[in-house]
Chains A and B, each alone.
Chain A
Amino acid sequence: MKTQEITGSIVDTFDRLPAPDQFYTRVLQALLSVWRAMTSSRKVAVGSAIVGIFVLVGLFGPIFMRFEPEATSKLFIAPPSSIHWLGTTVVGQDIFSQLINGTRTSVFWGLGTGVLVTLLSMVVGLVGGYFGGWVDDVLTLLTNVSLVLPALPLAIVLAAYFPRGPLTISLVIVFTNWAWQARVLRAQTLSTRSREFVTAARASGEHTWRIIFYEIFPNEIGIVVAGFVSTTIYVVLTWAALEFLGLGDGTIPSWGSILYWAQQAGALGGGLWWWFVPPGVCIALLGAGLSLINFGIDEIADPRLRQDTNPKKVRKAAA
């Protein structure tokens, strides 16, 4: 019931006829109601906390590192101890330090790439949905083709040819994953376009780009946020996969590259579980945090999925 009311308030915000000069207040309002809706769901709260912790570790973790992540030592293949919390690699590097350093790369490149994917799909979706006609036809065809091409193999091929590095991986992921969100946003824009405030803005001679980004876009912030979260899950997983394949820059520490070096050094056959288990756990936790946020958003968007009642109470009463 509580979330229902809050979803209602999102809709209210969207329904209000906006004055064009209040763009920032409206964006702020929309984001605020998304935030309120999110914090009222336990799933979203837990998910946000997990993601938040990773962001904090990424920001401040390296300050507290006790070893240089790449520095080798004579203590090879040491299992976890009070000195090396997560043990050492075959060349005596401190895995815990590598993990902290890797968190910075993985979290920030992951989130940043998520933002890039979202931006690209926003432009394509909004432009196609708003203009219609041949522009939309072309963009829709592009979107659909991009949707049916297998993303991971294409990303592997692209990453194999271009110079190794985080920027390559980021762009490759953007190139192979923008289409899904673009399609969702296009559909939404199509329906928003016919709303009266858009017609009013057009009648009053507002500039097309202003209409698209100032009038229509603020109405789609909810979808964009949801899309960003689900995209980022995929980005984090794909990122790790590409690096694990050796398509990243192995000298830059990240969760994926730790896994790559562990695999290269035969950590599995040597039983060095402390090398390959922690980065995987980190990826899984970050992924789980993001999915929790996503499930929460799904439930907010579709009240039928919500467990509104207390089933125990119902069962007890029925018995």
Chain B
Amino acid sequence: MRHILRRILFYACAVWVAVTLDFFIPRLAPGDPVAALVGKMSIKGYVSPTMQQTLAAQFGLNTHDSLLVQYFKYIGNLLHGNMGNSIQYFPTPVSQIIGQDIGWSIMLGGVAVLLSFGLGCLFGIITAWRRGSVLDTVLSPAMNFLSAIPYFWLALLSLFIFAYLLNWFPLTGGSYDAFNVEPGWSLDYIGSVIQYAFLPALTLVISSLAGWMLTMRNSMITTLSEDYVLMARAKGLSEGRVMFRYAARNAVLPNITGFAIAIGTIVGGQLLTEMVFSYPGIGYALFQAVSEQDYAMVQGVFLIITLAVLGANFLADMLYAFLDPRVRVERSA
């Protein structure tokens, strides 16, 4: 119990740091970028009085409130779920835009993380178990190389090959064929969604598969030399049981934390992939916000991504304590 309480305190602290960073970064940046933006936009005549007021409230322009008062106002707003208004889609609230995009991100990221974790661990287990076999000697170095490839570039390449050259998948981006298909529980729609998500998911899986496999392989090799694995073999248990229940079950423990953290990156982990594929998730939203200098949006997206990651980390800690009975004792002691 004490262990859990301490973790909760720690994550509360981390959330506070994230929120505070989010507040101070635009205010401490040199040359007051928000003021510069407003200036630039008012020259072009974009800035209406209401917009100026909103921006002023959000970023502390033309206000007499002290930084501290602004800070508490900001936190109060956040507690009400108010993350300000987008500049590029003024006056749509940031939270509304995020709400629209987050579903696509979670779907894409979720599928990719689950697939790559499952496959990666399985490959790691098998290559470690059959160490030195043909499979191992081919797969492991290939994965080494794959893991060094920048994944956004892999995305570019797969888009070029499968969409541009082979024309198997759409080149245009989006999450489904918006011109020909109506959203709904129809086969056409689901098929279209899969068609649009396939390449992004594939590149995500390929780029993260290697990491899972290699850590699992290393951890498995270490575990295989443990006495309890030897004893399991001496017990005459079936190969599968020794491999999974004794070796892999222990070897996966270090990977579990990684997995839960990866769950957290479902929201923001495929930023660059979404950008390359123009896939309308939260990463694409961040990309657009950055290029349009939509600061409220940038901050909102960062906050959401951070919260997701922190939540997942917290979950990872709890999961680890559940899976490894030793932690429950050691950490609370």
| A touching B, CB within 8 angstroms | yes
Q: Write the residues of chain A forming the contact surface with B, with a CB cutoff of 8 angstroms.
A: 141, 144-145, 148-150, 152-154, 156-158, 160-163, 233, 237, 240-241, 244-247, 259, 263, 268-269, 271, 273, 276-277, 279-280, 283-285, 287-288, 290-292, 295, 298, 302, 304-305, 307, 311
User: Which are the 9 A-B pairs with shortest beta-carbon distances?
Assistant: A287-B148, A311-B132, A280-B153, A161-B29, A288-B148, A284-B149, A150-B309, A153-B305, A157-B302
CB nearest to B133 among chain A residues: A311
Contact of B298 among A160, A163, A263 (CB under 8 A): A160
Count A/B pairs, Cβ under 8 Å: 140
B136-174: which residues lie under 8 A (CB-CB) from chain A?
144-145, 147-150, 152-154, 156-157, 159-160, 164-165, 171
Tell me the bound Cα distance from A279 to B218 in angstroms.
31
Could you tell me the distance between the alpha carbons of A244 and B298 in the complex, rounded to whole angstroms? 17
Least CB separation from A152: chain B residue: B271
B18 at the binding interface (Cβ < 8 Å): yes
Q: Which residues of A contact B107 (CB under 8 A)?
A: none
Chain B residues near A263 (CB-CB < 8 A): 156, 276
In the bound complex, CA of A141 to CA of B33 (Å): 31
Instruction: List chain B positions with a Cβ less than 8 A from chain A.
Output: 10-11, 13-14, 17-18, 21-22, 25-26, 29-31, 33, 131-132, 144-145, 147-150, 152-154, 156-157, 159-160, 164-165, 171, 218, 221-222, 225, 264-265, 268, 271-272, 275-276, 286-287, 290-291, 293, 295, 298-299, 301-302, 305-306, 309-310, 313
Alpha-carbon gap, A94 to B34, bound state (A): 37
Known interface pairs A150-B306, A160-B290, A305-B221; 20 further A-B residue pairs with C-beta atoms within 8 A, sorted by A's residue number: A145-B14, A148-B309, A149-B17, A153-B306, A161-B25, A240-B152, A244-B152, A245-B272, A268-B160, A268-B164, A269-B171, A271-B160, A276-B153, A284-B145, A284-B149, A285-B148, A287-B148, A287-B149, A302-B222, A311-B131
Asked if A161 meets B26 with Cβ closer than 8 Å, knowing A244-B272, A284-B153, A302-B222, the reply is yes
Q: Using Cβ atoms and an 8 Å threshold, which residues of chain B touch A241? A: 150, 152, 272
B148 touches A145 (CB 8 A): no
Q: Which of B26, B171, B218, B225 has the most CB of A within 10 A?
A: B218
**Majority-rule SS of B interface residues:** helix
A152: chain B residues within 8 A (beta carbon): 268, 271
Instruction: Tell me which of A149, A162, A288 contacts B144 (CB under 8 A).
Output: A288
Q: When chains A and B are docked, how far (Å) is the Cα of A150 from the Cα of B303?
A: 10
Interface centre among A145, A153, A292, A302 (most CB of B within 10 A): A153
Which residues does chain B contribute within 8 Å of A283, judged by CB atoms? 149-150, 153
Indicate if the CB atoms of A304 and B153 lie closer than 8 Å.
Answer: no
Check B299 against A291 for contact (C-beta < 8 Å): no
A–B pairs, 22, beta carbons within 8 Å: A148-B310, A150-B268, A150-B306, A152-B271, A153-B268, A153-B301, A153-B305, A156-B290, A157-B298, A157-B302, A162-B29, A241-B152, A245-B275, A269-B171, A271-B164, A284-B148, A287-B150, A290-B148, A292-B144, A305-B222, A311-B131, A311-B132
The one of B153, B264, B302 in contact with A259, judged by C-beta atoms closer than 8 angstroms, is B153
Given contacts A150-B306, A157-B302, A298-B218, contact A304 B156 (CB under 8 A): no
When C-beta atoms are compared, the residue in chain B nearest to A315 turns out to be: B132
B149 to chain A, nearest CB (A): 4
Q: Which residues on the A side are within 8 Å of B171 (C-beta)?
A: 268-269
The residue on A at minimum CB distance from B286 is A156
